[in-house]
Amino acid sequence: MCGVTGFLDRRDGGSAPAMEAAVRAMADRLRHRGPDDAGNWADEAAGIALGHRRLSIVDLSPAGHQPMASASGRYVICFNGEIYNFRDLRGELKAKGRRFRGHSDTEVMLAAFETWGVLGALKRLIGMFAFALWDRQERVLMLARDHLGIKPLYWAASDGLFLFASELKAFRAHPRWRPTIDHDAVAAYLRFGYVPAPHSIWREARKLPPGTLLTLRPGAEPEIVPYWSFAEVDASPIEMNDEEATEALDALLRDAVRRQMVADVPLGAFLSGGIDSSTVVALMQAQSDRAVKTFAIGFNEAGYDEAPHAKAVARHLGADHTELYVTSDQALGVVPHLTEWYDEPFADSSQIPTYLVSKLARQYVTVTLSGDGGDESFGGYNRYFYGVQLWNKIRRIPLPVRGLISHAVTTVPTGVWDVAGHVIPVRRRPALFGDKMHKAAQALTLSRSESVYRRLVSQWHEPNELVIGGTEPKGLLWDETLKDTVPDFFSRMQYLDTLTYLPDDILTKVDRASMAVSLESRVPLLDHRVVEFARRLPHRMKERGGKGKWLLREVLGRYVPRGLIERPKMGFGVPIDQWLRGPLMDWADALLSPAAIARHGLLRPEPIQAAWTAHRSRAQNMQYPLWTVLMLQDWLNREAGA
């Protein structure tokens, strides 16, 4: 894993020494992504400069140093990520007469570009990657990002200057970077808890969409074209019976995991004891001649501790398991650093345990595998079931009646619903029952299935009411034509999550948290071949008997007794609701005061104060909406002091 950055200034890049100094300063902002090596390269005549920070994983020798030039000298690349089929490609390329100096996947990529062209080579890659490639012959800059958006890449263009980087913080080091906050993006952030692509918190910067290639030619605007599109993946149902599908998925996952276990440094895995991470660890252990190192953290707060489940799975598989029970003080100690690591407001509170488990793992390994992506591909999120059940039940009820029911449910505090939920058997009762009752009740007033999904994933339902001078951009979640191409509501929610929530929340969270401690995190369930296979699964292979991820459970059942993993989905969270009424109350009170909010001239204090009052009085659990504002306020304070 690495950090990449650079710029193209076709007007006045300055002297070569000045360009190298600028790009070196930009790369130094990414040192945490690559503490093992640093490199920079500049071409004064072309106005191009590339910078790189390296976390050495494959080919630890100087032959893996970047920026790296191709054998002919035509291409120069700085690359972040891993190409898992590079050995296969290397064999093909050697058969075509290509010769190699070292053993890195970067060198193989360059040879692939020279042999098959950039687009042709991209379509052959299996991996996670983000790279900048300079074509010295055509004087063209190209940026690309992996199929699902596992690795980040930002770009910005203004006044003849084009910047790019793995993280926004690198832009700060360029002397001509003058950003302004995008109020529309802030409104979108308040809905989702993240800034949705292609937007960023800065009006001048953009996220490169997953599966795309950006090309910047002389005298032209950036051109972005897809080389792979989830929307165009074949969705026709596979013609297999249950046993055949189980065997096919088992073989595919084995191959994905095997490829991702290749490293020249110590390797392990995150293990929560849930379906996804347990499957990854089971397949790692099945293909390893030594005990796989696994890592989990636990919390003493009820409803948030998965450590016993992880320990039981690890014991059965024979893994070398390490767990750490985290105190609330340790977890709270992470909060002041969140905005520094995430660069723009980001409010998925599971960022805290993700960082803590990454920090734990980094004491023992340099690479971990995780189970991220299983919910989106195989149908695991609770909202898929709640959304379908809710919509099927309410769509025939007149809206006025639904409004009365909604009012009745939401007037009962979430804490009371939590207590009432104890009449439901533990194995069927979802976590945070009161929150889910309120979300379901709020969705009762909606008239379209798309609106139900949007409500289920929203933190603030009317974010425009909070942002001064901001209008939320209407993205994919407002596209009512989707039901024509993805008619099944369950599958449509999966589809939307894969294109939005997965890259912009889940993968962003894991990348920044792991990179903060210089740990590479790999995600075998997001091998694009696995995602393509899952897209073709009929509904009965995703959901059966009221449970999601049916086929993935069948694969896992070959390795782990079902009794160890059959339980309600818990998620990977922390008790933010309790902390905001306890040890974080003073911190939150200071950030949410009318004066603190007015200081930045971005938000209206009235709805925020109403939410804060409701939360403190326990009338309503407003932890998630409040967390978005707190992370935004903390970020604004950091920017003001920068």
* 27 within 8 A of 164, measured Cβ to Cβ: no
Cα 336-337-338 angle, rounded to 5 deg:
100
Total residue count of the chain as it appears in this document: 642
> First and final CA of the chain: distance in angstroms?
27
What the block records as the tokens of 411 is 């007037």
- By DSSP bridging, strand 205-207 and strand 154-158 are antiparallel
Q: Name 544's bridge partners.
A: 547
* 573: amino acid identity, one letter: G
Cβ neighbours of 537 (radius 10 Å): 22
Given its phi and psi angles, is residue 537 left (phi above 0), alpha (psi -120 to 50 degrees) or beta? Answer: beta
Q: Name 157's bridge partners.
A: 162
* 474: amino acid identity, one letter: K
In a 13 Å sphere around the CA of 491, the CA atoms on its Cβ side amount to: 20
Distance CA 395, CA 418 (A): 26
Catalytic residues: 2
Residue pointed to by tokens 């050697």:
94
Distance CA 164, CA 166 (A): 7
Residue 564, classed as helix, strand or coil, is helix
Cα 392-395-398 angle, rounded to 5 deg:
145
* 15 within 8 A of 31, measured Cβ to Cβ: no
Q: Name 43's bridge partners.
A: 48
* 100 within 8 A of 77, measured Cβ to Cβ: no
